[in-house]
Copies of this chain bind each other. A is one copy, B any other.
């Protein structure tokens, strides 16, 4: 397995996980992401949402990118991020060596049409602040997800 091409970020990620595209590892990956988000100061609901977005992105890579192959490599990188507004946040970059697809072709569907499926991209965009799909240099896709920690509205305490 090759390493992913250099990320768009200049510094190495604080955490960098390589996993195989086996649905049994979604759960551990979610726990990692939620656990890190919690330590970065996100509240419980936000941690759950970030983990959900990562889960949905991994599901799509497994189902669409790798056609349910269980041995494709996936890389998940995590950075604590400081944005211009002085509020902190988390940046998650997910890379694969799977099928490439035009980023414009990845979009959530109209939710008025009730049918099974077609919710993943909508969920990802709904819970994250920034969502960017790109083709990697030679093979595979890269998804960048950012969530800001907001000037937490009074009432909702930041995590412990």
Q: Name A's B-contacting residues (CB within 8 A).
A: 1, 12, 14-20, 22, 24-25, 27-36, 38-39
Chain B residues with CB below 8 A from A32, complex form = 17, 28-29, 31-32, 35
Chain B residues with CB below 8 A from A31, complex form = 28, 31-32, 34-35
Give the interface SS of chain A, mostly helix, strand, loop or mixed.
helix
Q: Is the CB of B19 within 8 A of A28?
A: no
Q: Is the CB of A25 within 8 A of B12?
A: no
Q: Is the CB of A18 within 8 A of B15?
A: yes
How many Å lie between the Cα of A29 and that of B34 in the bound state? 11
Q: Is the CB of B35 within 8 A of A39?
A: no
Q: Which residue of B lies closest to A29 (CB)?
A: B32
How many Å lie between the Cα of A36 and that of B35 in the bound state? 14
Q: Is the CB of B36 within 8 A of A28?
A: yes
Q: Which residue of B lies closest to A75 (CB)?
A: B16
